[in-house]
Amino acid sequence: MSARPPWRTLANAAFFKEKLNNGNKVTGKSDQAPQTPPPPETTAAWLQRFNASGLSDEERRALILERFAHMGEGVVIRPPFHCDFGHNISLGRGVFMNFNCVILDVERVSIGDLTAIGPGVQILASDHPRDPELRRRQVRYGRAVDIGSNVWIGGGAIILPGVKIGDDAIVGAGSIVTRDVPAGVTVMGNPARARAR
């Protein structure tokens, strides 16, 4: 497993404190100027349409194209589905997401071709500072999540901010993935660790 960079560096903490001391509310990436997200009611309205009963696969695909950054051919997302915005999500060809998945996409979430995601999976690109002063000021930011091609993520797994999962990897059901997963490796547990051979 590869080491991850620290959640919060002194440079990032200084960035947030400077902005907050100037009276700004900070959202968006921790390593560049803050971004203003679209109003949450626009996503809520889109999710209500997407999760409505009786829609065909074609109608759902049209809704995904309307909202997501990218969608390959043959993508299937079974409702209910939930996300923060949608416009930070890119799905490769043949991605399958089962019922009740959640993607907190305050930062980029990229899922490669032919990846299968079980029911109740949470992919969380949203993060909060470890510094209690910044949390009191409601600072939040994100770290991109990148999931490769032909990955299988078992039901109920949680993928934390900043994680990269390589091609052909498997994440066991119920696992909490806190670190990068190399290509072709099976991880499981809390925290997720490589399965012994």
Query: Is the distance from CB of 106 to CB of 88 less than 8 angstroms?
Result: yes
Which helix (H) or strand (E) segment holds residue 65: the answer is helix 57-67
Q: For residue 110, give the 3-state DSSP assignment.
A: strand
The span from the CA of 45 to the CA of 178, in Å, is 32
Active-site hit among 70, 82, 87, 128: 128
Is 128 noted as a catalytic residue in this protein?
yes
Query: Is the distance from CB of 88 to CB of 105 less than 8 angstroms?
Result: yes
The span from the CA of 115 to the CA of 96, in Å, is 6
Positions annotated as catalytic residues are 128
